[in-house]
Structure 1
């Protein structure tokens, strides 16, 4: 299966730059997985240009990206499991747009050797499925493990402490996300959960800019080779990284690294006080048009904090399209996120209001 990263640099060159499987595929093959094929991504999983994949719930809309084809294929019942990556919001956003579960594990919990590199600090393998049970199977395959054992008994919503964290990006939230936000709190309270909204320290407001700085600095390194090899075939947005169009200084890059590193244990401590923490997955329903994969603003903070994120589907926008919410946890608490998400996801899917028209 040729590896071309959806780049014209490598199309038509036989096997492309990769003659061996990437590490996650080696693991899956060794576990007996059947590989159906490859799906559409944006160029080097690094730009927001969309197409040709469309949203299975409305073909005039984007399925999200950069893991566009994977999210659409799982959402359309073509395959039960799909792989993606996330550097900003490239796994969680398609999960929401296509009404499926999407897991961005803790950074480094699954090897990404052999995948195209954009940002070594942020790039994370992503997983798609239509149930948490499938993620539990994948967690065994990839040997995900928490420091603390996950209970055998099902997660109990009654009496659990559940936080809702809007983050500084909340002013961008559209009506679909606002409805999902309110509905989720009402459903959890009705089941006996102790629900509260929490605010983050002011320093967390800097993360979105720090994330942009890290991508600009690391993209400058990652795309240099292809820029020198075939600049005319490389997306112009990637030229900007190599040419440092934002004039990012190395001092600013280091400040961004250090700021995010300082806040990671702070977030771990905050999240550790709750049984579950929810945050928005997307600005709103999938936008009309397939030329752009949508806004990832609500996701980038959690990506550079390197924490596990699970998009939970079940809610509907005013036009009846899917909108999800993200359950986030401390680093290396992936299994706990799945544990809580399994029970809560069942509630959201049953009562959240989204009705699929695919079947």
Structure 2
């Protein structure tokens, strides 16, 4: 019997709520051997969010956070291996997304660059496992957006010649992958998903997120505010496009409110509707009458958001990726294990039809144990 091809995928997304780690075997069809999630404390989460915007003493603060996150990523990997009862020597490589601190895609007034931290040198040293990281900048060097990168994995795992599929990732930001029966895979960010809702919930309820969307369900959508939010020029941009907390953040929301007095639960309902409408509008632009929509990411557990997506998509099927055999929480971490495998095997990890890169290239840097 062939030996397992074991990789670890590490993900800490825009919401910065937790580090997700998965152990994946790629010997046959990719499948998860073990999974582990480690919540990020409020102090480090606040520092991540603060560094997403220009601020004082950035370089020293970034350098300190770079090391702190690498230590936490390493601890998550080692805890994962303990749970799986597998020795580090059996792992081919770790694929670490890192924590995005700043993302300025092509066309940004501030220049064109992306930065993810969580020092892979230290991860390789602390775990004893070769680590692949810094995936996004190679795509940017080839003229791409640097994001989204997960659609290549979605295509490898979820493409079906018998139906058109859209994979919707609802993390801090939302992005979609279009998997037609035939033809090129497309993908792009559609706007905010959980980031604004989580910030608003933390400010007004003191909780990190609105569980199941219950608070949003208690409010009413403010149509004027929704119209103002959707007027942001990002929504009208053609693909390829990507975005982040640099654009859609709490300060932007407050400035859009412009001192209007709206019930907090009504603002939350409106933010949820913003996510649902922007995702639905993006998919409807694909001009296909019949599309199966599969949702992953934290938003898949927001019952109110899933309900609104089902309402907006009408007769089209809306489900989570659990229906395709993979828990929606672990898709992105699994994708970075796959991207590490692509890099180790000298295969491209980006899709030029998604990111707008001139060509498909091998992504990331390899830090040998």
Normalised by the length of structure 2, the TM-score is: 0.28
Normalised by the length of structure 1, the TM-score is: 0.28
Q: Give the structure with the larger strand fraction.
A: 2
